[in-house]
Amino acid sequence: MATFSYFQNYPHSLLDPLLFPTPNSSVDITGIIDQNILHSLPDVSKIEDTSVYPFLDEYNNVDKTESDSFKKQANTTKTATTGSSSCEQLNNGPSTTTINGKVRRRNIKNDSNSKEGVEGRKRKIQRSDVKEKRGSKEEPPKDYIHVRARRGQATDSHSLAERVRREKISERMRTLQKLVPGCDKVTGKALMLDEIINYVQTLQNQVEFLSMKLASTSPVVYDFGSDLDGLILTSEMGSPDVGTSFTNAMPTTTPIFPSLLDNSIVHTHAQLQEGGGEEREKFVDRSGFNDNSFCSFP
């Protein structure tokens, strides 16, 4: 009853529909979903953990140690820069805000804050905590993002925060460029977003179309779920003992399975091996699967 206890703790969660699998419900999709997804429910506005998105690192080659190395440097340079940079801040503050229209015009406020303590180049993403943390810590906790102000740029914390934010967004944009094909030539946020929207719509339409195709072309003779399984497996298998692994993996076999094993899998697979060698190679290349690695079901 883990799901029910979870519901009491998080009444406003997005997963409310999922939590009501009454004993009468015919389909219990909680079975296939890891329990982690129910228990770890971070607030939407506070998703800061980059490990949530494992693919981004691969596509992006993010070097996470960069941000850590700035930690020590920030601490050592703070005393040196506060004295000399105070004059610069007064000059640079207004200028940087005018350059980038998105930074709020807080000239007067920025100056007063910068005089008090730009003690760390520390910056947490949530703005509400800035004023508390500013004068306090020397060893920052790990979720802080450490940025070093470059020469000739404003060093007050607000513009630093803005710069960090902008860099993050541009980094994301770069990753998106790698993911979305044909996005290299495009510059500017609006056009990039256009491409992304286009791509997502295309993929969703493809899913619709393919599911329609699968629904219509699968032979009507077989039962609904089993014919697709046969097809899915034949598209992956490299070994003739697919039938045994399949039955071992699926304890809830419908009575039609024995006939399925007799007819479709072995038969069509043999045919694929004999006659359609070329096509099979095409499938394997296209799917990029390792033939042996698929046989292991959890």
Residues 15-54 that bind other proteins (CB under 8 A): 15-18, 20-22, 24-29, 31-34, 36-37, 40-42, 44-45, 47, 52-54
- Least spacing, CB of residue 192 vs other proteins, in Å: 9
Question: Which secondary structure element, helix H or strand E, spans residue 226, and what is its range?
Answer: helix 224-234
Binding status of residue 254 toward other proteins by CB under 8 A: yes
Task: Residue count of the chain, please give it.
Answer: 298
Binding status of residue 279 toward other proteins by CB under 8 A: yes
Distance, in Å, from the CA atom of 113 to the CA atom of 103, rounded to the nearest integer, reads: 16
Torsion of CA 213, 287, 33, 62, to 10 degrees: -130
Number of residues counted as binding other proteins (CB under 8 A): 98
First vs last C-alpha separation in the chain: 23
- Least spacing, CB of residue 9 vs other proteins, in Å: 16
- Least spacing, CB of residue 91 vs other proteins, in Å: 30
Distance, in Å, from the CA atom of 232 to the CA atom of 63, rounded to the nearest integer, reads: 38
Are the CB atoms for 148 and 121 separated by under 8 Å? yes
Q: Of residues 131, 148, 189, 281, which one binds other proteins by CB under 8 A?
A: 189
Binding status of residue 128 toward other proteins by CB under 8 A: no
**∠ CA 52-57-59, rounded to 5°:** 125
Contact set for other proteins, span 205-244 (CB under 8 A): 206-208, 210-219, 223-226, 228-229, 231-232, 234-236
- Least spacing, CB of residue 121 vs other proteins, in Å: 20
